[in-house]
Amino acid sequence: MTRIIGLTGGIGSGKSTVAFYIASKGIPVYIADEEAKKLMDSKVIIKKIQAIFEESILTDEGNLDRKKIGSIVFNTPEKLAQLNNIVHPEVKKHFENWVKQHKNQPFVVKEVAILFETGGNLTCDKVIMVTAPEEIRIERAMKRDSVDRESIVNRIKNQLPEEEKIKKSDFVVYNTDLQNTYNEIDKILKILTKT
């Protein structure tokens, strides 16, 4: 039975960098946000998503205007919940099929930003949490997404507090120095390979 290792961390924590590092070791990594974006491009899902918004959230080409959706849902928790109720079941189904394709692996890694918030941790055998001091995370996210501080702070408020996620995780990686982070991940992978 292939074990599922959850990989999570708040915005700007560096969990994507960690996910790519793990994948470079030949371990299958499922990036939930990436897969969700692809699934949201299907006409059926676009229609369902448009139905929950009063105004048009489509581009002139008929695709989802992700920036517009983001600015609405991060300021309106009930809209975010409605969007998640459409997207999460689709991602769950897609992930289950993906795991079947990797059934010969001892374990796979599922990278999810809001793993605990969605209860996704309950389907994981172990959870790796990537974290960093909040100020560093805010600066990284502002630089990466070219957005203002307030937008990042609002997104952080929509996520479970770091302390709670740390308590619920099996492994915690403090990502302030990249080489140290990689060394920590190597140790964790060794432990996971042995168990």
Q: At 159, phi and psi to the nearest 5? A: -105, 155
Predicted pLDDT of residue 173: 97
State the architecture of 1-28+105-195 in CATH terms.
3-Layer(aba) Sandwich (3.40)
Tens of pLDDT, residue by residue over 150-162, are 888 888 887 889 9
Q: What is the CA radius of gyration of the chain?
A: 17
Question: How far, in Å, are 56, 95, 187 from residue 31 at the CA level?
Answer: 28, 10, 22
* Residues 40-94: tens digit of each pLDDT: 999 999 999 999 998 899 999 989 998 899 889 878 889 988 998 999 899 999 9
Q: How far is CA 6 from the centre of its chain?
A: 10
Point out the annotated binding site: 12-17
Whether this model's pTM surpasses 0.85? yes
Binding residues for ATP: 12-17
Q: Stretch 166-182: mean pLDDT, rounded?
A: 96
